[in-house]
Amino acid sequence: MDKTPLPIFYDYVFPNFAMANALQVELGMINYLHSMNSNRRHGIGFFEQQLPAGTDTSTVLTYLFDQSFGTWPNSGPGTHLKEGPCMDLVDAQEDSVYFGKRKRQKYIYPIKVTPHLDCFAGVGADGTKIYGNHFWKYMSAEALEDARQGNAIVFLDYAQENFIPRTTYENLHKSIELSGIPREQIVLGFNTFNAEEIYNSWFGNSEQRLVVKSWPFVISNTSYFYNQTRDGRTEPETFYSTRNTIRDNHFLFKIRRPRENRQAIVYAMQQHGLLGLGDWSWLSDVQFNQSYIHYYNTNYGFDLTMEKMEELFSQLPKSLKDEPNDTFSTVSSWTDNQVKSYNNAYFYICTETYTEGPYKSVTEKICKPMGNYMPFVFSSFPGALALLRDMGFKTFHPWIDESYDQEINGHKRVAMIVEEIKKLCSMSKQQLHDWYWSLEDILVHNREHLLEFYKLDKITHDLIQYLYNRVNN
């Protein structure tokens, strides 16, 4: 397959990496010193390096500044346009702005935005140090002028994030309006299937200050990752070797960060005495009080007491029985590479990050059961299972009642999912074993389709073609 050539330019190119565009000056100076005096890590800056496992925070930046608001850099290094599945699609013609412009007039100026998009905009957060630190202030004068004149496409790379509130867009609009950069010169690539649709429904043409493009990078990148490495996926020979072995656990349920839907499912399972039937983890701690308990009792119909919560939380943080050494800092999107736990349970409880709001976003979380031959229940946004089927995957109705997928009310949707978990947990191990192997064709299909999905991802192909057309017209 021919790759699409994209000129990708950076303000500053150091001996062993290109500095992130639109990076705060102070952080850039430290990255410069690191690059001049070390070749220990190529292609990455000092602040992006991972700290050793077991450290409370995962990067040098968070170690120095904690999670303090306003101390995140405006941007990260590189761009997802040259990572993962895009490596097979893009011929990244990288250069500095100064020298690259001698070869061609129009180019892409990538900015890999950190999760804190409001900080990036520099609007809102009145009274903090970040207020007024608009991202474009840290672009070089040359790149900023090129963007204003229509020669540089400022590509806001938000490829791993799934949710942008309307108020955050409004803050970003204010920042861009002050920059003097025309709307069509700023393109935001955002990890959803319907980013453009939502943005256009929220803002009329006269209100829009940038071009928003859907870019489901995370699921494509996970597909690419599983295709290129054996990490985190079960091999066919391992799968078939378990046909005559009764597994230890009814279910597998992994929690790293306690979102509301994940907590609600755990509390419901605790009430029904189901947690002891499976392998589950909760790798972080939670502070709770009486109002916290009242919220879940009121909204989910639970009967939680302080005594019950103390009994549960005394176990936290909790690792899997089959992965006892995993901690919050050692497990992330693509470092969750052990497979023993998947092959020792019969179904997977998958919980997405965002389950409310208008966005259709799926992440690596749903790829984990599919990459390991597991049926699943999926706590996500309404219509998530339908989206998976549109993408070519198969789900498990009527073996699992998936009517929860169409339930709009999030609390009711969780309750419906819990009912399916209860049904599966009421089965004996032998019944569950027979049920599991009756789904063999679906499990095999999902795994094989996942390994090839990134090649079929039309939305990513269309984004790359769009950028190519913009710099070649």
* Predicted pLDDT of residue 32: 74
CB count in 10 Å sphere of residue 460 = 26
Q: Are residues 136 and 184 in the same domain?
A: yes
* Predicted pLDDT of residue 47: 64
Q: Are residues 239 and 186 in the same domain?
A: no
% of the chain beyond a pLDDT of 70? 91
In whole angstroms, give the CA distance from residue 36 to residue 195.
40
3-state secondary structure of 163: coil
Residues 6+ away with beta carbon under 8 Å from 235 = none
**What average pLDDT does this structure show over 406-433?**
97
pLDDT digits (tens, 9 = 90+) for 135-151: 999 999 999 999 999 99
Q: Are residues 444 and 465 in the same domain?
A: no
In a domain, 358, yes or no: yes
Stretch among 6-20, 88-102, 204-218, 242-256 having the lowest mean pLDDT: 6-20
- Range list of H helices, 6-45: 25-37
In a domain, 221, yes or no: no
Q: Which amino acid is at 96?
A: S
In a domain, 271, yes or no: yes
In whole angstroms, give the CA distance from residue 270 to residue 223.
34
pLDDT at 51 exceeding the cut of 80: no
Q: Which of 161, 119, 198 is nearest to 354 (CA)?
A: 161
Q: Are residues 466 and 434 in the same domain?
A: no
In a domain, 224, yes or no: no
What's the farthest any 2 CA atoms get from each other in the chain? 71
Kind plus residue range of the DSSP H or E element containing 90: strand 90-96
Q: Are residues 47 and 62 in the same domain?
A: yes
In a domain, 238, yes or no: yes
Q: Are residues 249 and 109 in the same domain?
A: no
In this structure, are residues 213 and 180 in contact, taking their beta carbons and an 8 Å threshold?
Answer: no
* Predicted pLDDT of residue 29: 75
Kind plus residue range of the DSSP H or E element containing 344: none
Q: What six digits make up the tokens of 162?
A: 């799934």
In this structure, are residues 384 and 408 in contact, taking their beta carbons and an 8 Å threshold?
Answer: no
User: Which phi and psi (to 5°) does residue 79 adopt?
Assistant: -155, 145
In this structure, are residues 121 and 135 in contact, taking their beta carbons and an 8 Å threshold?
Answer: yes
Three-class HEC string of 349-406: EEECCCCCCCCCCCCHHHHHHHCCCCCEEEECCCCHHHHHHHCCCCCCCCCCCCHHHH
**What average pLDDT does this structure show over 331-344?**
84
Q: Which of 419, 399, 417, 58 is nearest to 262 (CA)?
A: 417
3-state secondary structure of 8: strand
**What average pLDDT does this structure show over 15-25?**
81
Q: Are residues 274 and 195 in the same domain?
A: no
pLDDT band at 438 (very low <50, low <70, confident <90, very high): very high
Q: Are residues 41 and 104 in the same domain?
A: yes
Q: Which of 458, 462, 454, 453 is nearest to 4 (CA)?
A: 462
Give the number of domains in the chain.
2
In a domain, 12, yes or no: yes
pLDDT band at 66 (very low <50, low <70, confident <90, very high): low
In a domain, 222, yes or no: no
Bridge partners of 326, per DSSP, are none
Kind plus residue range of the DSSP H or E element containing 377: strand 376-379
In whole angstroms, give the CA distance from residue 138 to residue 25.
7
Q: Are residues 70 and 115 in the same domain?
A: yes
Q: Beta strands 107-113 and 90-96: pairing type?
A: unpaired
Residue recorded with tokens 């999670």? 67
* Predicted pLDDT of residue 23: 85
* Predicted pLDDT of residue 317: 92
In this structure, are residues 70 and 128 in contact, taking their beta carbons and an 8 Å threshold?
Answer: yes
Which sign does the torsion angle of CA 435, 441, 446, 451 carry? Answer: positive
3-state secondary structure of 269: helix
3-state secondary structure of 7: strand
Assign residue 92 a region (left: φ > 0; alpha: ψ between -120 and 50; beta: otherwise): beta
Supply the CATH number for residue 297's domain.
3.40.50
In whole angstroms, give the CA distance from residue 261 to residue 380.
9
* Predicted pLDDT of residue 415: 97
pLDDT digits (tens, 9 = 90+) for 375-413: 999 999 999 999 999 999 999 999 999 999 999 999 999
Q: Are residues 127 and 41 in the same domain?
A: yes
In whole angstroms, give the CA distance from residue 16 to residue 34.
10
Proportion of the chain in helix, strand, coil states, percent, rounded to 5: 45, 15, 40
pLDDT at 179 exceeding the cut of 80: yes
* Predicted pLDDT of residue 396: 98
Q: Are residues 126 and 211 in the same domain?
A: yes
Q: Are residues 463 and 402 in the same domain?
A: no
Instruction: Provide the domain limits for residue 42.
Output: 4-216+457-471
pLDDT band at 365 (very low <50, low <70, confident <90, very high): very high
* Predicted pLDDT of residue 287: 80
In a domain, 409, yes or no: yes
Residue recorded with tokens 């952080």? 27
Three-class HEC string of 405-416: HHCCCHHHHHHH
